[in-house]
């Protein structure tokens, strides 16, 4: 289904919404539908977000407006600035947006439908809210996908750290954990059987998530949500959900000592799952 809402009208609507909303909290995220009602005329329509994260775009909606903000590098790349954006994802795949620098007054627009707009691709937001809107129309996510080895590092550390914390909290009081105590859990496949750490790709991880066979320790992925996402979108969800490698290593250091931390880093680097900074 193609959109009945043209990009020029969508930009005009975004400018009006920008003026009506006024200052927006940079942490605010919102999605609302747009439906064309006549030449140059639209109406706002509600959208439904299921508990598992699937966004339902109403039948007949022509676009989804996303209120979002992103930190981006300035032109000289010497500093980071916050861009506050209103973006409209059109059902046919085109995107338009209006944006301003946080605390600034000037509002500019971009459109992927304009072949002369050389900045449009760079300005398209890559955050989860924008990608949720894209997936509601079956469009590909726009994500700077981390290497799949990062997922292996974090899930391996989740298992090892969880075991270490249990042993640290001994019945007779806290005690430092020795690496030898963690050998058994360290040798388990980080994401479960069927995923070879030496060859697995995000497509493989996505397939296992859709089938409900992806193991993430205490974390879970709803198979229906995984099926609704594409592989890049799933990578973004997992990147936002799982504790970082640095957080998990810091926890290990608390329950062990320098030897435990060195053992964990050595295990990861030996498998090329982690490159210490």
pLDDT digits (tens, 9 = 90+) for 220-234: 999 999 999 999 999
Domain with 210, as residue range(s), is: 148-270
Instruction: For residue 62, tell me if it sits in a domain.
Output: yes
**124 and 172 share a domain?**
no
CA atoms within 13 A on the CB side of 128: 14
Does residue 78 register a pLDDT over 70?
A: no
Specify the higher pLDDT residue, 3 or 212: 212
Specify the higher pLDDT residue, 64 or 84: 64
Q: At which of 111, 136, 161 does a domain end?
A: 136
**27 and 95 share a domain?**
yes
Instruction: For residue 141, tell me if it sits in a domain.
Output: no
Q: At which of 136, 167, 200 does a domain end?
A: 136
Separation of alpha carbons 83 and 86, rounded Å: 10
**55 and 115 share a domain?**
yes
**115 and 173 share a domain?**
no
Q: At which of 113, 136, 159 does a domain end?
A: 136
The pair of structure tokens assigned to 57 is 């775009």
The pair of structure tokens assigned to 115 is 């072949």
Does residue 14 register a pLDDT over 60?
A: yes
User: Euclidean distance between the first and final Cα of the chain, in Å?
Assistant: 47
**255 and 153 share a domain?**
yes
Does residue 22 register a pLDDT over 80?
A: no
**156 and 129 share a domain?**
no
**65 and 107 share a domain?**
yes
**200 and 167 share a domain?**
yes
pLDDT digits (tens, 9 = 90+) for 155-214: 999 999 999 999 988 777 788 889 999 999 999 999 988 888 888 999 999 999 999 999
Instruction: For residue 276, tell me if it sits in a domain.
Output: no
The predicted structure's pLDDT at residue 104: 74
Residue 170 pairs in a beta bridge with 173
Provide the domain count of the chain: 2
**121 and 193 share a domain?**
no
Instruction: For residue 238, tell me if it sits in a domain.
Output: yes
Widest CA span of the chain, in angstroms? 75
Instruction: For residue 85, tell me if it sits in a domain.
Output: yes
**123 and 167 share a domain?**
no
The pair of structure tokens assigned to 268 is 């990861």
**30 and 106 share a domain?**
yes
pTM of the model: 0.91
3-state secondary structure the chain: CCCCCCHHHHHHHHHHHHHHHCCCCCCCCEEEEEEEEECCEEEEECCEECCCCCEECCCCCCEEEEEEEEEEECCCCCCEEEEEEEEEEECCCCEEEEEEECCCCCCEEEECCCCCCCCHHHHCCCCHHHHHHHHHCCCCCCCCCCCHHHHHHHHHHHHHHHHHHHHHEECCEECCCCHHHHHHHHCCCCCCCCCCCCCCCHHHHHHHHHHCCCCECCECCCHHHHHHCCHHHHHHHHHHHCCCHHHHHHHHHHHCCHHHHHHHHHHHHHCCCCCCC
For residues 185 and 167, is the Cβ–Cβ distance under 8 A?
no
Does residue 2 register a pLDDT over 60?
A: no
Instruction: For residue 277, tell me if it sits in a domain.
Output: no
Q: Indicate the pLDDT class of residue 277, thresholds 50, 70 and 90.
A: low
**123 and 170 share a domain?**
no
Sign, CA dihedral 65-67-139-137, equals negative
Average pLDDT of the chain to the nearest whole number: 91
Instruction: For residue 75, tell me if it sits in a domain.
Output: yes
């Amino acid at each position: 289904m193609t959109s009945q809402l043209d990009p020029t009208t969508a930009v005009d609507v975004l400018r009006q919404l920008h003026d009506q909303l006024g200052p927006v909290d940079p942490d605010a995220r919102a999605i609302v539908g747009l439906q064309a009602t006549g030449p140059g005329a639209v109406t706002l329509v509600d959208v439904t977000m299921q508990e598992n994260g699937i966004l339902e775009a109403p039948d007949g909606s022509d676009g989804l407006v996303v209120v979002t903000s992103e930190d981006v590098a300035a032109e000289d790349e010497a500093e980071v600035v916050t861009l506050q954006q209103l973006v409209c994802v059109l059902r046919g795949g085109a995107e338009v947006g209006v944006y301003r620098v946080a605390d600034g007054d000037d509002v500019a627009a971009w459109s992927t439908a304009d072949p002369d707009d050389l900045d449009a691709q760079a300005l398209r937001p890559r955050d989860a809210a924008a990608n949720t809107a894209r997936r509601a129309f079956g469009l590909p996510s726009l994500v700077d996908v981390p290497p799949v080895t990062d997922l292996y590092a974090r899930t391996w550390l989740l298992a090892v750290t969880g075991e270490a914390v249990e042993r640290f909290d001994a019945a007779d009081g806290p005690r430092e954990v020795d690496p030898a105590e963690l050998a058994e859990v360290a040798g388990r496949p980080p994401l479960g059987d069927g995923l070879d750490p030496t060859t697995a790709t995000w497509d493989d991880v996505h397939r296992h998530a859709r089938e409900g066979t992806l193991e993430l320790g205490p974390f879970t992925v709803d198979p229906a949500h995984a099926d609704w996402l594409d592989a890049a979108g799933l990578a973004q969800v997992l990147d936002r959900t799982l504790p970082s490698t640095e957080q998990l290593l810091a926890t290990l250091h608390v329950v062990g000592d320098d030897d435990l931390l060195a053992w964990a880093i050595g295990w990861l680097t030996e498998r090329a799952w982690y490159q210490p900074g």
